Structure 1
Amino acid sequence: MSKLERSFRNSFQKLDLKKVLDDHEKLEVLSHVSDTLADDCLKHLHWKAHQDVSKVLHNCDSAHESIMKFKEQIGGVPEWVNWDLVRQGQDVFWKYMVPVNIILTNYSLAGGLAANDMANTLECNGSDKKPPLTNARVMNTSKFVLDVMKDADCLRPWTGEGWSLIVRVRMLHAKAR
């Protein structure tokens, strides 16, 4: 077992999810946290959900401050990012992919879609009344996780496929708010 795996296992064992998930007040506070940078950018960006948002942003010549701030944030890599550790984390994911996907699909995604307090995004766009669309969302989320875990290069700003997907999801969530 690698050092990273031991660290992950120790951290996970210390996490008391039941205590966090049973505290309705803590969850309620989190439901009001938003991404103001993406929200502000979206107000001024001429983007439709069917378009590739990373291309729209890259080609956007708007000098609006909110768009420029958003582009600056998503286009940079924090100095603390260690690409070797990112790759190691992705290796751990692929090693334990089967149980991780079972947990993500059956507990995180299905639980989130079923919980009243966590389904506002689906409700605001009508997906809660369209089971095939909800199923497609579960499938898209699963595909998203697999795509961003391909390799470290897929997460590099402006060129990585995983990075583009992350920006797209961030903007879709802003659109749903």
Structure 2
Amino acid sequence: MVDTVPEWVDWERVGRGQEFFYRYAAPTITGFAFQGLLSLTAQGPSRRPVETLMRAGGHSTKVDKKRLFEAFQLLLQASQSLETIQPRGSGHAAVIRVHFLHATMRQRILKLAGVRPSYFNNETGGIPTNDLDCMQSVCAFSANLIYVTPPARRIYAREQEAADYIALWR
């Protein structure tokens, strides 16, 4: 099931999205680092993933740097080449591992909350690492390169480049 590619995937477009990422990798990775650090202190709805990380022991000064390196590694593996993101490629495997990690953390937190309700409140916090949280991450990966970091340096994506890059993360 994890190797099934949806019909709407356009591999040529995904490949062009990877090329676009590498063309602007330096400012993008810098932007992701700062965006990640800023989001760790966010308030409101964007703080939901941080609450989950705190409950899972994945948000502290000792592990934040490790998390950033892991995120960069995933980013590089997913965008290294078309073969790496296709089924059975190393980037595809890395993305699947992240999905499994999220599912494991979700189950762990829900189990602990079932035993000790004060540990995590699903009513106010929602289901941990849910689809909304995953979409927030994908949107951040997509939007950062197109609308945030390079434009701050007067680098602007053409419409086709933006569409191709979004196809990579979709």
Question: For the superposition of Structure 1 and Structure 2, which TM-score range results when normalised by the shorter chain?
Answer: 0.5 to 0.7
Q: Are 2:16 and 1:85 aligned?
A: no
CA-CA distance at 1:121 after TM superposition? 2.7
Distance 2:52 2:71 in 1: 14
Q: Which residue of 114, 123, 126 maps to 2:41?
A: 114
Segments of 5+ residues of structure 2 without an aligned counterpart are 107-170
Which residue of 1 is the match for residue 73 of structure 2? 143
In the other structure, the counterpart of 1:164 is 93
Deviations along 1:74-115, whole A, 9 cap, x unmatched? 2201112111111111000000111111111101x1122222
Q: TM-score, normalised by structure 2?
A: 0.56
d(CA) in 2 for partners of 1:175, 1:112: 23
Aligned pair count? 102
Alpha-carbon distance in 1 for matches of 2:50, 2:80: 28
Separation in structure 2 between the aligned mates of residue 133 and residue 124 of structure 1, nearest angstrom? 13
In the TM superposition, 1:1-177 aligns within 5 A as: 72=1, 74-107=2-35, 109-116=36-43, 117=47, 118-128=49-59, 130-157=60-87, 159-177=88-106
CA offsets per residue over residues 21-76 of structure 1, 9 Å max, x none?
xxxxxxxxxxxxxxxxxxxxxxxxxxxxxxxxxxxxxxxxxxxxxxxxxxx2x220
Task: Tell me, in whole angstroms, the C-alpha distance in 2 between the residues paired with 1:165 and 1:173.
Answer: 12
Partners of 2:89 and 2:62 lie apart in 1 by: 30
SS of the residue 1:120 aligns to: helix
Q: Shift of residue 131 of structure 1?
A: 1.7
Instruction: After TM superposition, give the deviation of residue 149 of structure 1 in Å.
Output: 0.5
Instruction: Spell out, residue by residue over 1:105-136, the C-alpha distance to the aligned partner (whole angstroms, 9 max, x if none).
Output: 101x11222225231232111233x4222210
| Higher RCO (Cα < 8 Å, 6 or more apart) | 2
8 A contact 1:124–1:176 mirrored in 2: no
Unaligned runs of 5+ in 1: 1-71
- Distance of 2:99 and 2:38 partners within structure 1: 21
TM-score (norm. length: structure 1) = 0.54
Amino acid at match of 2:101: L
Give me the whole-angstrom Cα distance separating, in 2, the residues matched to 1:93 and 1:124.
Answer: 33
Larger Rg: 1
Structure 1 runs (4+) greater than 3 angstroms displaced: none
RMSD: 1.4
